[in-house]
Chains A and B, each alone.
Chain A
């Protein structure tokens, strides 16, 4: 059915079209970064990274035996809480658009959802890098203070080849969270999902490897936790180990992310 309204009198000519320029990606990334931390939950996530880094450092200084007061101990102590919080930040960066329904505005201002998600991904990586830098810095301060308090020589035992692997390990965790966010598009299920794939799944795969011998060789190729832990230990060195990381990344990140993105671009934002 067609119905066209013809105004009784067209008093005004159509206004001249303004030549709007496309929104640059750098601006989108800046906006997404701001959005990650200008909510109450985002703010406390950020604060908790700092606070937990300091608590973990303090705990090492107080409780670690003298032989363990080394940079490596500090870095891994700080890395533990961070490896949990960073994926949460990645999840919420994506899912809040749906769970909090702010996507209605976001995707109206930027109709290209792929670009928005891309900007979120870049912002997430930047936050990851920044947080790990904080971890390394706080760890260094802790190491200096800890060894001075205990009257020990300061031991710097995180090699230059290990540090990037730790960074990569954190980014893998964030990527898993981001992927879950894109696929599930709801905060609570994505967070639960993250704990399932990071806490429950490794146990099941471990058990499977114990009872089924054929799976033992296969496990490093499909268990992303296994390859992530190797990264945190700085133990991904051979070509085969990197291939294993590539394999788990493809299975748990690349493929689901691609499928999730396809459905996200077509889905209805309500």
Chain B
């Protein structure tokens, strides 16, 4: 289990992570979401001791990462697949990590096979690797010590569709065996498919967290009519705030029955009326982080 408590990290002039608290439970995949620069990577760096927190703490099963005697055996970390010595071969990178943890060399070959790098590829220098190959190598490094906890920053980046599917199965299986997985991604579809729990961060603050079902269910109602403007107006008259999305649908926090009643009273023919729960993670993400989006997306 990963527990982050009141974590704050300030830099000269700005607060990258602002009083963030959440837990990632064992046996579950926790998705860590947020727009670019929201503080995901900083939070993850603090978790593994690469960045010192200004205040607050992050612990792995109650222990600070830096206090783990041999962290590689307990926590698998992949923060940046490109952060490797370009002049080293993939195999050497794994050998060094394996030697540091005190593992038998056979483990290196197992991992190379697990992440589907060919022996020839493993002998090439990382300079000549594609992003997807680096990502596979990074995942191999993270899994090398057979850890109980995985902390992965954008692990699906650069992977081909087969690789993404493989990664999904791998992480789901890892969690099913009782492991803890915290992964950040901006590939919302990926997170939606794989995550059990979600933590959404914007401008360094947590804007939402909970199980995926809870968060997606809270998305309210989606309604359509031939004249969205009239519908929105009728709802407003009834004291129900709503927004008109770009596709002409009207969204509101009220439940579908009330929206239907309002439409009936106003004499507006609805072409669609449903719980917005199927609206998906993308809409939830955009509305939750609307204030913090660079593009100022209308929620």
Interface of A is mostly: loop
Q: Are B99 and A1 in contact (CB under 8 A)?
A: no
Asked if B65 is at the interface (CB within 8 A of a chain A CB), the reply is yes
Q: Are B101 and A109 in touch, CB under 8 angstroms?
A: yes
Separation of A109 and B83 alpha carbons in the complex (Å): 14
In whole angstroms, what is the CA distance A103 to B96 when docked? 12
CB distance from A215 to the nearest CB of B (A): 40
Most buried by A among B61, B88, B125, B177: B88
Query: In the bound complex, what is the Cα–Cα distance between A112 and B70 (angstroms)?
Result: 11
A20, CB-defined interface residue at 8 Å: yes
- Which of A10, A30, A31, A268 contacts B50 (CB under 8 A)? A268
A3 CB contacts on chain B under 8 angstroms? 21-22, 199, 206, 208-210
B92, A105: Cβ atoms under 8 Å?
Answer: no
In the complex the two chains form, what is the Cα distance from A3 to B211 in whole Å? 11
Determine the chain A residues whose CB is within 8 A of the CB of B211 once the complex forms: 5, 7-8
Asked if A5 contacts B50 (CB within 8 A), the reply is no
User: Is A41 part of the binding interface, using a Cβ–Cβ cutoff of 8 Å?
Assistant: yes
| CB neighbours of B27 from chain A (8 A) | 7, 10-12
User: Is A40 part of the binding interface, using a Cβ–Cβ cutoff of 8 Å?
Assistant: yes
Contact count band on A = 35 or more
Give 1 or 0 for each of A1-32: 1 = CB within 8 Å of chain B CB. 11111011011111101101111000110110
Interface flags, B60-71, vs A, CB<8A=1, else 0: 010001101111
Which residues of the other chain, A, contact B69 by a CB distance below 8 angstroms?
Answer: 20-23
Partner of B84, one of A7, A28, A31, A100: A100
Query: Interface residues of B, CB < 8 Å — how many?
Result: 65
Closest to B99 in A: A31
Residues of A within 8 A of B26 (CB): 12, 14-15
Q: B99 contacts A30, CB within 8 Å?
A: yes
- Beta-carbon contact of B205 and A1 below 8 Å: yes
Complex formed: what's the CA distance from A112 to B50 in Å?
A: 10
Query: How far does the alpha carbon of A41 sit from the alpha carbon of B50 in the complex, in Å?
Result: 26
Are B66 and A112 neighbours in the complex by a CB distance under 8 Å? yes
CB-CB under 8 A from A10, the residues of chain B are 25, 27
A10 to B83, CA, bound (A): 36
| Pair B99/A34 contact, Cβ less than 8 Å | yes
Nearest chain-A residue to B24 (Cβ)?
A5
Distance of A38 Cα from B95 Cα, bound (Å):
10
Q: Which of B11-34 contact A (CB under 8 A)?
A: 19-28, 30
Question: Residues of A contacting B148 with CB < 8 Å?
Answer: 15
- Asked if B287 lies at the interface with its beta carbon under 8 angstroms from chain A, I say no
Is B114 part of the contact surface with A, judged by Cβ < 8 Å? no
In the complex, whether A108 has a CB less than 8 A from a CB of chain B is yes
**A101–B83 CB distance below 8 A:** yes
Q: With the chains together, A56 CA to B40 CA distance in Å?
A: 55
Chain B residues engaging chain A, CB cutoff 8 angstroms:
1, 6, 19-28, 30, 45, 48-52, 61, 65-66, 68-74, 77, 79-80, 82-89, 92-93, 95-97, 99-102, 125, 141, 148, 177-179, 196-197, 199, 205-206, 208-211, 213
Extra contacts besides A7-B211, A101-B80 (10): CB < 8 Å: A12-B26, A14-B61, A20-B73, A22-B70, A38-B92, A106-B100, A108-B72, A108-B77, A111-B48, A112-B66
Can you list 17 A-B pairs with a CB-CB distance of less than 8 A?
A3-B199, A3-B206, A5-B25, A5-B199, A5-B210, A21-B70, A23-B100, A23-B102, A27-B99, A34-B99, A35-B96, A100-B85, A105-B83, A108-B50, A111-B65, A111-B71, A268-B51
Which A positions have Cβ atoms within 8 angstroms of B? 1-5, 7-8, 10-15, 17-18, 20-23, 27-28, 30-31, 34-35, 38-42, 96, 100-112, 266, 268-270
